[in-house]
Amino acid sequence: MIDTLATGHTYYWRVRAQDGANTGPYATPMAFDIFTPIVDRACPGLTAPAPNSTVLVLRPTFTLADAPKSGPTGTITYLIELADSDSFANKVATWTAAETPNQTNMVSPADLTYGKVYYWHARAYDPTTLGPWSYTQAFQMLAEPAPVFAPGPGAERTRRPTTPST
């Protein structure tokens, strides 16, 4: 005897009466479904770059706290969008990464521009469900460092000519 029925299936059943001496005919079969519970795809938590922070590397690591979920899920993937405005009209980059336990880290697929402000958000999805976008978070890239000039090979120091004292 089965104690529980698997979700996502249709089951059929029928009955008949018996009184010990007589057995009646089977009733018309009936069907019922066991539905898969609704899977909540809440937004992933945006951990890094932190809100309004200054990023010191041209290819920052984006860190997401995994989105909460309930019920059976397929493989969870995260989609990140990076833009130069909070409207996301001009996307700088979009990329995906498979979820890893507790948090998911993804390195920017391209170098970002010194001194620029960027906006990012993310969403979780699996093969059957697309979650909502997270809130939008902004960060700024470090200002471009000043060039450093160093003497190259073969550079010589020159001395001022001196005049003999009389």
pTM across the whole model? 0.63
Phi, psi of 21 (to 5 degrees): -110, -30
Fold assignment, 45-141: Immunoglobulin-like (2.60.40)
User: Which of the 8 DSSP states describes residue 114?
Assistant: T
Phi, psi of 32 (to 5 degrees): -150, 155
> 127 versus 114: which is more confidently predicted?
114
User: What's the pLDDT at 138?
Assistant: 94
